[in-house]
Amino acid sequence: MSISKQALQKPNVPVPSQADANDYIILLKPRVMSLVVFTALVGMMVAPNPINPVLGFLAILCIAVGGGASGALNMWYDADIDAIMKRTKKRPIPAGKLTGGEVLVFGLVLSALSVLTMGVFINWFSAAFLAFTIFFYVVIYTMWLKRSTPQNIVIGGAAGAFPPMIGWAAATGAISIESIVLFLIIFLWTPHIFGRSRFLLQPIMARRMFR
């Protein structure tokens, strides 16, 4: 896998105006974050080892922040695509509310904060798993698969299927066959729901990107 320098170049965007709190909330992709929190909570609750409620809350918070960080980094990298699509052109970067650099720093800080907090207060295994999930979503899915194949959702769906395993790892410090089953349920469900629509929309997105 290689990512060219040209692919890493960010588009010219309007000079940013003053952003408000809502712009930063948008970066976190709240709808996606809510699904991440729910599936991680399921993984934590069905784990055989009960976790202290306070630590459990902190672990879910770290997973949520890590998911939000992934969303912010996704919007940073996809600013060029977002600027030409009706559904996404009002996001903070193409709308001129924030610069790409500001969003990049925001995403990286949240990533580091979530992973380090998870490691220090929960366990380093779940922290490493969280870090890997952020990396997978941002680098493997956003930077590579999303722009190289219409089947990106099939492989990239793994990023959305990891949270229950992270929740399980937060409670137990490890993974097991049960947590893998939870992963497979979500991983196999995702392409079924979104794969066909993404495949049909891919030619339209490509024409808009290169016209």
Domain ranges of the chain: 23-210
pTM over 0.85: no
DSSP 6-50: HHHPPPP-PPP----HHHHHHHT-HHHHHHHHHHHHHHHHHSSS-
CA 10 to mean position of chain CA atoms: 19
Reading the chain (211 residues) residue by residue, the pLDDT tens digits are 544 444 445 555 545 457 889 999 999 999 999 999 999 999 999 999 999 999 999 999 999 999 999 999 999 999 988 888 888 888 999 999 999 999 999 999 999 999 999 999 999 999 999 999 999 999 999 998 888 877 667 677 788 889 999 999 999 999 999 999 999 988 887 665 555 544 444 444 444 443 4
According to CATH, the topology of domain 23-210 is Tetracycline Repressor; domain 2 (1.10.357)
Query: Could you give the dihedral angle defined by the CA atoms of residues 25, 31, 36 and 37, in that order, rounded to the nearest 10 degrees?
Result: 70
Question: Helix (H, G, I), strand (E, B), or coil: what is residue 10?
Answer: coil
29: left (phi over 0), alpha (psi -120 to 50) or beta: left
SS3 of 76-145: the string is HHCHHHHCCCCCCCCCCCCCCCCCHHHHHHHHHHHHHHHHHHHHHHCCHHHHHHHHHHHHHHHHHHHHHH
